[in-house]
Amino acid sequence: MILDISWEEESILPERQDALTTLLNNAITETIHLSGGRSEAEVSLMLVDDQRIHALNLEYRGVDRPTDVLSFALQEEMDEEPDFEFEDEMLGDIVISVERAREQAEEYGHSFEREIVYLAVHGTLHLLGYDHEEEDDKLKMRNKEEEVMTKLGLERV
């Protein structure tokens, strides 16, 4: 798995970026693996502030507010059921608001690292075709998120 991270939000110090890079790489790799994705997959991850994700959310979803994570899948499924047999390895882009991750970590009572990893897992699942529009789909996605987070040792407490 190839992960390209763009650190657009500047509050995370370079020495902390290294540890987060390892966590994020492991999380996205594990998500792809446990979801039947290709080990050669490529993902781009942008860590941004609320202002940037707000602009993207408005432009691409028509929602005039910041959000925690956006996913932009570059692949199309080959048939009705996701089989993850894509023509090339580039899955797409994930954008995470560092500000939202900090606020949500505090709100939920866990670490910033756990929250940002969770958002990366959630975004990766969207790239792989998961969604949470219907209750059954939401349950499948939540179960997969919990499976990955448990595997990473970052389950809810």
What mean pLDDT comes out for the span 23-41?
A: 93
Q: Is residue 76 part of a domain?
A: yes
Half-sphere CA count of 125, side-chain side, radius 13 A? 26
Total domains, the chain: 1
Instruction: Give the contacts of 114 (CB within 8 A, at least 6 positions apart).
Output: 105, 149, 154
Q: Spell out the residues 6+ positions from residue 149 whose beta carbon is closer than 8 angstroms to its own.
A: 114, 117, 118, 121, 155, 156
pLDDT per residue as tens digits for the range 137-153: 999 999 999 999 999 99
Q: What is the pLDDT of residues 76-124, one digit of tens each?
A: 554 444 444 545 589 999 999 999 999 999 999 999 999 999 999 999 9
Residue 45 inside a domain? The answer is yes
The CATH number of whichever domain residue 120 belongs to comes to 3.40.390.30
Residue 156 belongs to some domain of the structure: no
Containing structural domain, residue 37: 2-151
pLDDT at 35: 92
Residue 75 has pLDDT above 90, yes or no: no
Note whether residue 27 is domain-resident.
yes
Amino acid at 45: L
What's the average model confidence in pLDDT over 64-68? 97
Q: For residues 97 and 40, which has the higher predicted lDDT (pLDDT)? A: 97
Q: For residue 86, is it within any domain?
A: yes
Is there a domain that residue 157 lies in? no
pLDDT at position 79: 45
Give me the residue label for tokens 């500047």.
10
37 falls within a domain: yes
H-only helix segments in the chain = 14-34, 50-61, 98-108, 112-127, 135-151
Percent of the chain whose pLDDT exceeds 90: 82
